Structure 1
Amino acid sequence: MTEIPASPDAPSEDLRRLAEVHGVSTEFWDFTGNHRLVTAATIRAVLAALGVPAATDAQVAASLADAELTPWRSPLPPSLVVRAGREHEVPVHVPDGAAVTLVVELEDGDTRPLTRRDHDLEPRDVDAVRTERAEFVLPADLPLGWHELVAEIDGVGAVRAPLAVTPDRLGEPRLATGRGWGLMAQLYSVRSARSWGVGDLGDLAELTGFFGELGADFLLVNPLHAAEPTGHMTPSPYLPVSRRFVNPLYIRPEDIPEVAYLPGPQRALVEWAAEEVRPANATNDPIDRDASWEAKRRALEVVYAAGRSRSRQHFLERFRAEEGQGLEDFALWCALRERYDGEEWPAELTDARSPFVARARRELADRVDFYVWLQWVADEQLARAQKVAKRSGMGLGVMHDLAVGVHPDGSDAWSLREVFAHGIGVGAPPDMYNQQGQNWHQPPWRPDALARTAYAPLRDMVRTVLRHAGAVRVDHILGLFRLWWIPAGMGAEDGTYVRYDHEAMVGVMLLEAARAGAVVIGEDLGTVEPWVRDYLGERGVLGTSVLWFEKDDRGQPLQPEAYRRLVLATVDTHDLPPVAGYLAEEHVDLRDRLGLLTEPVAKVRLAARTERERMVARLREHGLVGADPTERELVEALHAYVVRTPALLAGVSLTDAVGERRAQNQPGTDTEYPNWKLPLADGAEQVVLVEDLPGNARLLSLVAAVRAALGDDDRLQH
């Protein structure tokens, strides 16, 4: 490990102190083990995005003084997130000598008075007011839930602050055999003969039913987050306009109950719309989301206009009330996006709380109702898919994927504007697979704003996503600890880490998961400090192990027994080619063609070949392959190897099961590669439909190999 020399733009000591106070890293270790210092320009830009003046030395000094006094200026913290089963201290700042009491109002209506604790902290002057800190004790026996602290202060009155009591640890999933396995699929790519050119929630229900019959415990799907309702739809499911709500592209129109009662002419309109895009199901062309959504939207307009029965309308209204203001704002954003399709919005509409937006809400009431209805329909179809999953025997059922961020011009960024940092993109520093770093161009949440809102954006998002699911995979879960912030105009390598209150962030997520009875899996790949993985394991959050990335300190494949137990273990990821393509070094060929390599292709190819040979040797060592294994034998052996680890969950990519060779996504590209557009196909690039899966010999053979390795093949149904 070496020290990278400081830049001429090195920060002053005061600027470094100010950065650390606000959770902005001034140094870090890169993936090569080198110690790097962050430039002053990056630090000042990040602090500005946090609302901290730091452009001059005088501003830095003033901001340091302000940061020291900020906690003393409010009677109570903006919010408090604590663990159940432990005592916690609550500071209350009051005028010196003022009487104060503190109680907890529980969410069930009960009230618990808190005991004051003596301490030796001296009062101090805060904005010309002599202020003291009183400390109270939260008892260890408070129930899980969202409660409220209420301080009664003489001369001030009642002051309130949200209190979340979260699980100390999330329980492990209860699976019939103790360990579980499941499939992983990009839902948009898995189409049936009844799809509208893109996989949908009807297909999801069919998949969960079939895989449940095969003994699978879960089906992990790509993020189903909302995308643009008009214009070009962003293909990446990891760049949504909202992480809380669902992309109505995934709705199966014919599965809406009202369709059965449509008059002949209206029913014909729905059928004609489907006929326009259904032929695409049989082609291997890139998926055209825009064409599919245009056809679906016309059909959905017809169904919506037909109305609903009294009881169905009641269910819609109840859903609307449960999802609250967040749903109303999302639907309004969709209606505004529709009104100004392709045009820049008027400046007065950029503030979601302005009177101009309130007027637009009234003017667009019917379109808002339509977009609310779409979310209700999607919610019903998601509920059906989860119900089918559980009835088929799945231990968990649907496992959702939660993207790390949102589109900078999307609904979340608009309706929750005050929570996001502006002029910043989230990404990742250079690593061995993306040596130029990555900028995902997603605005990050501000840590201070999350605390001020009692983590409501996180709470509401997780609660909605887990309405009909047994698990959630959190993409880049390190984002609950720190994120790589890249100031606008700078390269991905010029960013720095900004820390979050991980104790609060993880706690809020676990509270919502516990209420939903769901499992949380964190994608903890990349450069991760060991304590982070230990912490997540202690909280009951499963990690992620990918076979190709699990190596010992000599670069050899990790032995099965050396894997962690509390993980979802897989052979590959959606950012790599499926096993067949990876073994053929297609990830090297592709990056070479696209100019993404920062080292000579011969060197990269040699590294890939060495990696393959070491892995095959490890498989032979464990008796999983012979001297000259076929591609299919290697695929099955690699999955059997993963199952031999102590991992609690094992995942099998559907692309591996059918012999696909192409990656769904190539990091570092946009239009250069058809990212997130490839339909499910076999090794000969012949389309594989949902109806083909029960008779797919390769899939059934791989499933049998996985179940045999688990010792659970006796219940396999064909």
Structure 2
Amino acid sequence: MPDATATADGALPSPALKELAGRYGVAVEYDDWQGNHLDVPASTVVAVLAALDVDADGEDAVEAALAEVDLAPWRAVLPPVVVLRDGRVGEVPVHVPHGQPVACEAVLEDGRTVPLAQLDRWTDPREVDGALVGRATFAVPADTPLGWHELRVRVGDLPGDAEPTATAPLVVTPSVLELPAGVRDGQHWGLMVQLYSVRSRLSWGLGDAADLAELASWSGGEHGADFVLVNPLHSAEPVAPMEPSPYLPTTRRFVNPVYIRVEDVRETAYLPSADRALLEWAAEEQRAASAAGALVDRDAVWAAKRSALRTVFDAGRTAAREADFAAFREREGKGLTDFATWCALADRHGLPSSRWPQGAHDHGSREQERLVTEVADDVRFHEWLQWVVDSQLEAAQRTATRAGMALGIVHDLAVGVHPTGADTWTLGPALARGITVGAPPDAFNQQGQDWSQPPWRPDGLARLGYAPYRDMIRTVLRHAGGVRVDHVMGLFRLWWVPAGLGPEAGTYVRYDHEAMVGILALEAQRAGAVVVGEDLGVVEPWVRDHLRERGVLGTSVLWFERDGDGAPLPPERWRELCMATVTTHDLPPTAGYLAGEHIDLRDRLGLLTRDVEEERRVDERDRASVLAQLSERGLVPEDPTERQLVDGLHRLLRAAPSRLLGVSLPDAVGERRTQNQPGTYDQYPNWRVPLGDSSGDPVLLEDLPGLPRVRSLLRALLSDDPPR
């Protein structure tokens, strides 16, 4: 039993606290990246349970919480949501007053009603709040179609047309997500890009949707690429300062309008000449920054684009265009309105939202209604921005597939959202408070990581029928041939860090992976998309097995693929169902990695926990073991140059059975600077480095086809010519 000492720092959880933690999926022990078995302090367990609204501070509280979690299912007629796999008979527990007749049916998406048969299964009734409650179990047929259905229960002698006593979502998901037809056989390659860094002579200081379309057209039409994988395009703050990390968005459902190409908005062509001139002047300043190779300045870009876009919005639309906009608003519904409202309030009152009038946070109150009425026109403007960027991404995907790409655009789904962003304002019950997501210490981040993101609450998602999760996935996949899920292990468990503690003091919290993976597969199948899970780092072996079983591709990075003895794993032994790459955005481009710049950078920033010389020795040994394969296989000439090594490493990828091969665009131009150094914020210009060559000079989109290094790498990847 916990007492005052049991919750002190360093003390271990009592047996009762361990049991309570287990009922909520909170880990009390785990294995670290070196295989050491570690116990979680009781103080961490108590803090994590508190974020789930479970009081575990003291013996009496733990006992009361155990009793409550035991009785909770019996207090509800139906579970909050039932998620099943197709092809299997599912079971639904129904709780009713003992002895009362009960009937259960499923109402399918198409309107058909399917009566469910009650199973001959006896469960002893239980006393709940002074009354006996019984349990009846109903069977969902194995041939129930995929989709989002509804369970309805009637208790007592009610007529069939009476209102149901209780309802709950019923979600039937695919047992296996089949690969899209275009990538079921052979290998298929594509570029991996940080879109904001890929600037053109026409974009406004930041790569945009039109640049994405051009990149897809060139790589697909001229070189047979089947996809372009882009960084998360999720929306950031609508006011300065805009968070530079695409992995710390304000929402994951909607898109950052900074990626709009202003000139491609139809109404721009009909602006008065004076307004059009102002727009061009604003564009020229941003284009000059691109040509000079300046760091990406999102605040300056957005200030220029926002002013121009507001002018376009105020100019109005034709009746047909207005009807299209209205259809978009209706389709996106309350989620779009809530997000646009948050943006409009941020425009009016600034950020963080803690500076807003108190009434702005009282959802449904008269004071909030008054504040929202004041910004109604701005709400509509932010809805319009989403319509515009959605249509431009649709055009990019259309261009990609017309260029012959089997998949087209593959989007990236971030792990979470900003702690004070739009999602935390609109999806309150679904997110945990007083907790952030991170990662325990590992070889590349030896102090652990705190990503400053509030995690999904497993119970909150269930109570909401997983609707926020579903809506987010649908938006990401609407104009895409696939999605890469960053830190896909987060669908199984996440590292929760209590506020005020370091990332090493966190613990894992488990999710209903059957529901999380199943719903992802369902929405991907409906979109005809592939799903790639970024399963790097500390991964329980069974997790990769489960993802493979469900048809989710994994990720193989050349430097990290090792056998049980730590030797490089020959690419022939890599997984077939995965995306194979040489590098990842959390490492320097390959030219920089070969020079050990990741060691030098982490040393300068104070991120190493062991001696820098030891780090260099270990790193040089590991790199040499991988590079040795190139000479052994004749993939590089004797005494190769840096370019030849980079080309050889990509030739090596071709030996893998992996279905997808990803080529980082910075590798193709000789870039050496890293995009992101984990564990830092403003110590390094994360997510602001524009595409450049080996000297750091700017490389614009129009330059790519003529660059010798680009042609050399593509030749190495796509042809069987001997290395040169």
Measured after TM superposition, the shift of residue 279 of structure 1 is 0.5
Q: Rate the CA distance shift 1:611–1:87 in 2: closer, same or farther, 3 A.
A: same
Tell me the residue number matched to 1:188: 196
- The range that moved more, 468-477 or 255-264, is 255-264
Task: Tell me the equivalent position of 2:64.
Answer: 62
**Is the partner of 2:564 in helix, strand or coil?**
coil
1:235 aligns with 2:237: no
Q: Distance in 2 between the 1:342 and 1:473 partners? A: 30
* Letter paired with 1:277: Q
C-alpha contact (below 8 Å) 1:28/1:35 kept by paired residues:
yes
| 1:341 to 2:341 alignment | no
Counterpart among 298, 319, 332 of residue 310 in structure 1? 319
Structure 1 position 625, deviation (Å): 1.8
Q: Is the 8 A contact 2:118 2:137 kept in 1?
A: yes
Alignment of 1:522-561 (within 5 A): 522-561=533-572
Q: 1:8 to 1:392 in 2, by over 3 A?
A: closer
Do residues 135 (structure 1) and 137 (structure 2) align? yes
Partner of 1:178 in structure 2? 186
Moved more, 82-91 or 621-630: 621-630
TM-score, structure 2 length as denominator?
0.96
1:111 corresponds to which of 103, 106, 113: 113
Letter in 1 for 2:283: A
Cα 1:292–1:634 shift into 2, 3 Å? same
SS of residue in 1 equivalent to 2:252: strand
Instruction: Indicate whether 1:569 and 2:577 are aligned.
Output: no
> Residues 63 and 304 from structure 1, CA distance in 2 versus in 1: closer, same or farther, beyond 3 angstroms?
same
Task: Provide the rounded CA distance (Å) in 1 between the counterparts of 2:252 and 2:721.
Answer: 35
Structure 2 segments unaligned to the other structure (5+ residues)? 1-7, 159-163
User: 2:232 pairs with 219, 223, 239, which one?
Assistant: 223
Query: What's 2:15 paired with?
Result: 13
For 2:493 and 2:234, how far apart are their aligned partners in 1? 23
Shift of 1:272: 1.9
Distance in 2 separating the partners of 1:710 and 1:482 = 45
Following the alignment from structure 1 to structure 2, what is the Cα–Cα distance between the partners of residues 319 and 331? 13
Q: How does 1:206-355 map to 2 (within 5 A)?
A: 206-213=214-221, 214-342=223-351, 344-355=355-366
- Give the residue type in structure 2 aligned to 1:211: S
Q: Deviations 1:512-567 (Å, cap 9, x if unpaired)? A: 11111111110001111111001000000000111111111222111111101100
Aligned to 2:4: none
1:116–1:701 CA distance, 2 compared to 1 (3 A): same
Deviations 1:387-427 (A, max 9, x none): 00000000000000000000011000110011111000100
Residue 404 of structure 1 corresponds to 415
1:651 is the counterpart of 2:662: yes
Aligned counterparts of 2:365 and 2:540: Cα–Cα separation in 1: 43
The normalised TM-score by structure 1 is 0.97
Once the two structures are superposed, the pairs formed by residues 433-582 of structure 1 within 5 Å of their partners are: 433-582=444-593
Asked if structure 2 preserves the Cα contact closer than 8 Å seen for 1:201 and 1:381, the reply is yes
Matches of 1:686 and 1:446, distance apart in 2: 45
Q: 2:692 aligns with which of 645, 658, 681?
A: 681
**Are the counterparts in 2 of residues 643 and 709 from structure 1 also a CA contact under 8 Å?**
no
Query: In structure 2, what is the Cα distance between the partners aligned to 1:550 and 1:519?
Result: 23
- Larger mean CA deviation between 211-220 and 698-707 belongs to 698-707
CA–CA separation in structure 2 for the residues paired with 1:506 and 1:347: 38
Structure 1 pair 622–175 and aligned structure 2 pair: CA distance change class (3 A): farther
- Cα offset, 1:710, TM superposition: 12
**Contact kept? 2:213, 2:395, Cα under 8 Å:** yes
Greater shift in the superposed pair: 695-704 or 104-113: 695-704
Residue identity in the other structure for 1:672 = Q
* Aligned partners of 2:10 and 2:42 also within 8 Å: no
Match of 2:73 in 1: 71
Equivalent in the alignment of 1:3 = none
Q: Is the 8 A contact 1:625 1:634 kept in 2?
A: yes
Mapped partners of 1:639, 1:129: distance in 2: 68
Q: SS of the counterpart of 1:701?
A: helix
Are the equivalent residues in 1 in contact too, given 2:9–2:43 (CA < 8 A)?
Answer: no
Where 1:94 maps in the other structure, the secondary structure is: strand
Percent of residue pairs identical: 58
Question: Aligned equivalents of 1:549 and 1:293: distance in 2?
Answer: 38
| Deviation digits for residues 430-473 of structure 1 (CA, Å, limit 9, x no counterpart) | 00000000000100010001000010111000001111000000
Q: Distance in 2 between matches of 1:419 and 1:199?
A: 33
Q: Distance in 1 between matches of 2:118 and 2:40?
A: 43
Match of 2:165 among 154, 158, 170: 158
Aligned with 1:644: secondary structure? coil
1:198 equivalenced with 2:206 (yes/no): yes
- The number of residue pairs the alignment matches comes to 706
Match of residue 50 from structure 1:
52
Q: Which amino acid aligns with 2:338?
A: D
Residue identity opposite 2:209 in structure 1? L
Distance of 1:253 and 1:8 partners within structure 2:
56
Are 2:10 and 2:43, in contact at CA under 8 Å, matched by a contact in 1?
no
- Measured in 1, the distance between the counterparts of 2:666 and 2:116 equals 56
Question: Structure 1, unaligned stretches of length 5 or more?
Answer: 1-5, 712-718
- SS at the partner of 1:609? helix
Alignment partners' CA distance in 1, 2:20 and 2:362: 30
Shift of 1:59: 0.5
Asked if the contact 2:559–2:623 (Cα under 8 Å) also holds between the matched residues in 1, the reply is no
Matched, 1:372 2:358: no
Q: Secondary structure at the match of 1:246?
A: coil
Query: Quick one: which amino acid aligns to residue 180 of structure 2?
Result: P
Identify the range of structure 1 (427-436 vs 276-285) with the bigger mean alpha-carbon deviation.
276-285
Runs of 4+ in 1 over 3 A off after TM superposition: 351-355
- Structure 1 distance, partners of 2:623, 2:413, is 31
Provide the secondary structure at the position in 2 that maps to 1:170.
Answer: coil
- Summarize deviations over 1:341-361 as a string: whole Å, max 9, x none: 257112221244433323322
Among 432, 435, 440, the residue aligned to 1:424 = 435
The residue identity in structure 2 corresponding to 1:411 is A
SS of residue in 1 equivalent to 2:253: strand
Match of 1:385 among 371, 396, 400: 396
Question: 2:351, 2:134 → 1: CA distance?
Answer: 56
Q: Per-residue CA shift, 1:685-715, capped at 9, x if unaligned? A: 111101001111211221121122699xxxx
Question: What pairs with 1:660-699 in structure 2 (closer than 5 Å)?
Answer: 660-699=671-710
Cα deviation digits, residues 56-105 of structure 1 (max 9, x gap): 11000000011111111101000111111110111100111101111100
Aligned-CA RMSD value:
1.4
Deviation at 1:191, TM superposition (A): 0.2
CA distance in 1: counterparts of 2:365 and 2:535, whole angstroms: 40
Using the alignment, how far apart are the partners of 1:480 and 1:348 within structure 2?
35
Whether the 8 Å contact between 1:320 and 1:372 is mirrored in structure 2 is yes
Any idea what the Cα deviations from partners look like across 1:88-143, whole Å, max 9, x if unmatched? 11110011110111110001110000100011311111111101100010000011
Per-residue deviation at 1:491?
0.7
Residues 552-561 or 598-607, more deviating: 552-561
